A and B are shown apart, each in its own frame.
Chain A
Amino acid sequence: MQIFRRFLAALALSSMVVLPAVSEAAAKPRVALVMKSLANEFFQTMQDGAKAHQKANAAQYDLIAIGIKDEIDTSGQIRLVEQMLAQRVDAIVIAPADSSALVPVLQSAIAKGVIVVNIDNRLDAKALAAKGISIPFVGPDNRAGAKLAGDHLAKQLAAGSKVGIIEGVPTTVNAQQRTLGFRDAMQAAGMKVASVQSGEWELQKGNTVASAMMREHPDLAALLCGNDTMALGAVAAIRSAGKTGKVKVVGYDNIPAVKPLLTDGRMSATVDQFAGKQAAFGIEVALKALAAKTPQASLPVVTNTEVALVTR
């Protein structure tokens, strides 16, 4: 029992999130940015961008930026939203950990007159309809972004080539959308997708999967990876197999680590969806609504942000 209790205590400690102190300047609207895992560099960049945006517009609003321990701690994120409501924020900009589970708590936020904006991971349309609410989505079109990279790759491949797709965590919408985008591009160009497997967004897993795919399909011409970290793993696998230059790689996210690989050609392309600006876009939509006193229901359903192909 003793041990079990200590275990619980440790769990509780480890999942605790320290909230930043909130300055009580009543005049300015207060916007809460509720993130997913701040351990992920993508979200880190997003938050850094939001903070920079607030600094540049310090007169207009206050920002409370918080996040959960890992990307699947759904209940932790629900708790965070409840805490933000208790602090009476004026708007919530959220990257939901789960596209359905967060809907009820966001409904109660809207009922309290808080403006809610959805970024990054789009909330499930059916779940929103069932609750009779509308939450604007501000974010990139992952499927379109992936298609950009796929189209670029297809131009370098002979028609009918075999390719493999290394997917992120398959239960996430972003992973599914990017895989769809890759498939769209390959189908349009007449390539053959020989295998789709998950590298769980990770370097080592991406490496193992890439290596196995190349063994099973010795004539594989390219690997399309759901993020750049897995693409790094794929590049290492290609080197181990002695196929550098023979198998092309594309990634997604444009992290700094892939810069040298793009330069020397070991990676053909990646996609930048300007993580640093995404949260800021979301915040701007919320601020506009607050300033114009636009009701939640009349906000535009989708605002697509910029995605761009990066090849060097």
Chain B
Amino acid sequence: MKQALGLPLALLALVVGFGLTSEYFLTRDTFIAIANDIPALTVMAVGMTFVLIIAGIDLSIGSVLALSAGLTAVAMQSWGWNLPGAATLGLACGLFCGTLTGAVTVAWRLPSFIVSLGMLEIARGSAYLVTDSRTQYIGGAIGGLSTPLWFGISPAFLLALAIVVASHIVLRKSVFGRYLVGIGTNEEAMRLAGIDPRPWKVIVFALMGSLAALGGLMQLSRLEAADPNAGVGMELQVIAAVVIGGTSLMGGRGSVLNTFFGVLIVAVLEAGLAQIGASDPAKRVITGCVIIVAVLLDVYRNRRKRG
């Protein structure tokens, strides 16, 4: 499949634009900082790509991130767990939340929008409970994930990149990926073709939950603290990145590689606007405009391809 040029061009335009407005934007430091800033956003956007492809949505991921990170931090700080144990607990917690969202959605045939909205509240509330509503400082205990390896690049970034590449191949080339695209395109037709969509849907939400938890661990490692208010509104940022990457909210169409470009656009925009010192209202207005323009470009590109 031919890679559309629109997204890389839009990204280049942003980089050049910020390069011209800010003296220090086009520096190695900037790009390293962005690379080390995006792993959490990236892995969650990968999960969300899968969720949107099956025509679902998961609004709970910001809360699940906070809960998983909070649980890991508390396990280490207050319960004296070691790092592997605490990290496993965090990941298991994300897996559980995602599986629950998926299972309820499938079992009672509810819209995932509603179920994940419920999970958003449940996970946020649980995050406050386990952390006692207090920011948990853990120090450099799991700094390994974010300590630069070469040229300032962290293992977290490499891990996120590996997940992008692997997921891209899975979506394009595996039977699993093919089923997800089919389910998102026409769930009833898939059912009547003898493929039960339900287990696949649960798996996708379980994956999403686990990736949100992984994102939480990445943030915990880099920020050395777990904020029970972390990730508020992050679901919208993630969905924006995925949609900028051309994934359809109606299901059946999406690309993990393009999602990654969407993440880069969102991250460059955020870093660039902060660096040129844009005011908060200006940041919001500009970010909103970029989302709409990016989606318009995508729609235009698709219409032209169809002739």
B254 at interface (Cβ–Cβ under 8 A)?
A: no
The reply on A229 being an interface residue by CB < 8 A is: yes
B84 at the interface (CB under 8 A from A): no
* Contact status A39-B37, CB under 8 Å: no
Which residue of the partner chain, among B22, B134, B136, B223, contacts A204 with CB atoms under 8 Å?
Answer: B223
User: What string of 1s and 0s marks CB contacts (under 8 Å) between B214-225 and chain A?
Assistant: 000001001111
Residues of B within 8 A of A198 (CB): 280
Q: A201-B229, A215-B29 are in contact. Are A44 and B133 (CB under 8 A)?
A: yes
B112 to nearest A CB, angstroms?
11
Contacts A215-B29, A257-B135 given: A232-B223 contact, CB under 8 Å?
yes
In the complex the two chains form, what is the Cα distance from A6 to B226 in whole Å?
Answer: 33
Most chain-A Cβ atoms within 10 A of its Cβ — which of B27, B229, B231?
Answer: B229
**Do residues B230 and A260 form an inter-chain contact, with CB atoms below 8 A?**
no
| Residues of A with C-beta under 8 A to B124 | 39
Question: Contact: B133 with A38, CB < 8 Å?
Answer: yes
Q: In the bound complex, what is the Cα–Cα distance between A201 and B33 (angstroms)? A: 21
Q: Is A24 an interface residue (CB 8 A)?
A: no
- Residues on the A chain within 8 Å of B114, using CB: 3, 6-7, 10
**A:41-77 near B, CB below 8 Å:** 41, 44
- B14-33 CB mask vs A (1 if < 8 Å, else 0) is 00000000111101011001
A290 to B33, CA, bound (A): 57
Determine if A127 is an interface residue (Cβ-Cβ < 8 Å). no
The bracket for how many chain B residues form the interface is: 35 or more
Q: Does A186 contact B (CB under 8 A)?
A: no
Interface code B56-94, partner A: CB below 8 Å = 1, 0 otherwise? 000000000000000000000000000000000000000
Which of A109-117, A118-126, A205-213 makes up part of the contact surface?
A205-213
B117 and A10 within 8 A (CB): yes
Q: Which residue of B lies closest to A39 (CB)?
A: B128
Residue from B25, B110, B128, B223 with most neighbouring chain A CB atoms (10 Å): B223
Which residues of B sit under 8 angstroms from A255, Cβ to Cβ?
Answer: 134-135
For A201, the chain B residues whose CB sits under 8 A away are 229
A170 at the interface (CB under 8 A from B): yes
CB nearest to A167 among chain B residues: B280
**Residue A14 lies at the interface, judged by CB distance under 8 Å to chain B:** yes
B275 within 8 A of A: yes
Other-chain residue from B25, B231, B232, B277 in contact with A197 (beta carbon distance below 8 A): B277
Given known contacts A212-B275, A228-B135, A7 and B113 CB-to-CB distance under 8 angstroms: yes
A-B contacts, 6 of them at CB < 8 A, read A10-B114, A38-B133, A204-B227, A215-B29, A235-B224, A257-B137
Which of B's residues lie within 8 Å of A, judged by CB? 22-25, 27, 29-30, 33, 36-37, 110-111, 113-114, 117-118, 121, 124, 128, 132-137, 139, 146, 219, 222-232, 270-271, 274-277, 279-280
